[in-house]
């Protein structure tokens, strides 16, 4: 029962990553343009870190990597949508 509660709290925190990523994308428009390659590198590192933590069964680090991945991917996605709408 305790593991399910921790899992549900982790899922809730991951869901909060979506609005946080959207907010950061709106607030930091200038940084998204110049640092896009770094955001992609962070996303790749988070995917690798999440896979390793999944294999090692490190729940806290797994959810941390996934949260960062969600925030970074939302920031990159919001930028792409705005570019398409301007054209």
Computed on alpha carbons and rounded to an integer, the radius of gyration of the chain in Å comes to 15
Residue 82 has pLDDT above 80, yes or no: no
Give the residue, 63 or 32, on which the prediction is more confident. 63
Q: Give the whole-angstrom CA distance, residue 85 versus residue 87.
A: 6
pLDDT tens, position by position, 47-58: 999 999 999 988
Ramachandran quadrant class, 57 (left: phi over 0; alpha: psi -120 to 50; beta: rest):
left
């Amino acid at each position: 029962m305790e593991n399910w509660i921790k899992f549900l709290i982790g899922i809730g925190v991951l869901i909060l990553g979506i609005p946080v990523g959207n907010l950061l994308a709106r607030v930091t428009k200038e940084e998204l343009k110049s640092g896009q390659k770094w955001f992609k590198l962070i996303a790749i590192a988070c995917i690798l870190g999440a896979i390793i933590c999944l294999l090692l069964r490190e729940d806290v680090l797994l959810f941390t990597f996934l949260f960062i991945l969600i925030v970074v991917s939302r920031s990159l996605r919001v930028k792409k949508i705005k570019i398409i709408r301007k054209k």
